[in-house]
Amino acid sequence: MVIRKLLRNRGLGVNLIAGFSFILLAVYAWGLSWAELGAYLLVILVFLLGLIIAAALCGWILRKLMTKSEWNPVEPDQNVKIEKSQSAEKLGSSSRDESGTKSDAK
């Protein structure tokens, strides 16, 4: 029953079974002791945990730098509204110049 559930998603199930079989092969066929295997797995977990902590720390530092420098103080929605109003003003001023009203050009 458990094997059927693992094999439904073939990529994950097959990889888990293959990895577990390789570990058992290392213990029984190649003479690796259970203590050595545990030590290797512990070292792998410590390095993985260190990598995760380093990535989280880098993300936290980047977030603090981005909020401190106010890199993008205008929200995207406000930016679009500002661009639309500026383009409308430009269109309005150019149509007044063409219609013959006062112009600032000398």
Instruction: Give pLDDT, residue 88.
Output: 66
**pLDDT above 60 (res 98):** no
Q: Write down the mean pLDDT value for the chain.
A: 77
Please state at what angle helix 10-28 crosses helix 34-69, rounded to 10 degrees. Answer: 140
57 or 83, greater pLDDT: 57
Cβ neighbours for 89, distance < 8 A, ≥ 6 positions apart: none
Residue ranges covered by each domain of the chain: 1-32, 33-89
pLDDT per position as a tens digit, 17-39:
899 999 999 888 888 899 999 99
Those residues whose C-beta lies under 8 Å from the C-beta of residue 19, and which sit 6 or more positions away, are: none
Closest CA to 51 of 59, 62, 39, 63: 59
DSSP string for 84-96: HHHHHHHHHHHHH
Between these two residues, 105 and 90, which has the higher pLDDT value? 90
pTM: 0.48
